[in-house]
Amino acid sequence: MLTYGQLSKVYDNLASFKDQKAIASSFNTTAELLRSWMQSTSYIRNVCAHHSRLWNRELGTAPKLPRSPRGHWIREPIVLTDSSIHPDKRLYLALAVIESLLQTVNPESTWHWRLKSLMGRYPDVSRAHMGMPDDWVEDPFWRFDETGANG
């Protein structure tokens, strides 16, 4: 058994870049992006595990954006109500990474519906401080137009 951080390190330290590429390819991404995504989600896991504030934080280890997404991806550019906030270092991008990975390993996952429900319970929380556009639920990436567990 490995912790998420250890799994990230194992992937990062694979002797063969060819193996990294093969693993990344199974997630419809590149080795560079998958490495970034694993490091970022490990960072977020640690923030949560230590009961630290996450919703309005600039991520110390932010996930990289795909230059030209191979598959389904969020709308870009991300337009926020507060233009002083840089969405590339905020939580929304990491949430999209998590959903992208989940769509690959479990296309039947309802995690996105639970996220929508959670966000609905806290309408006063600043979406902009999460790097999340106000109309995020209208982005086809999130699949809310499909029947789901809460939809």
Distance CA 110, CA 44 (A): 20
One pLDDT digit (tens) per residue for the chain, 151 residues: 899 899 999 999 999 999 999 999 999 899 999 999 999 999 999 999 999 999 999 999 999 999 887 678 999 999 999 999 999 999 999 999 999 999 999 999 999 999 999 999 999 999 999 999 999 999 999 999 876 554 4
Cis peptide before 69 (omega within 30 of 0): no
Tokens of 56: 């309005």
pLDDT of residue 136: 97
Spatial separation of the C-alpha atoms in residues 20 and 23, rounded to whole Å: 5
Which of 79, 70, 94 lies closest to 136 in space, CA to CA?
Answer: 79
- Which amino acid does the sequence have at 132? M
Q: What is the pTM of this model?
A: 0.92
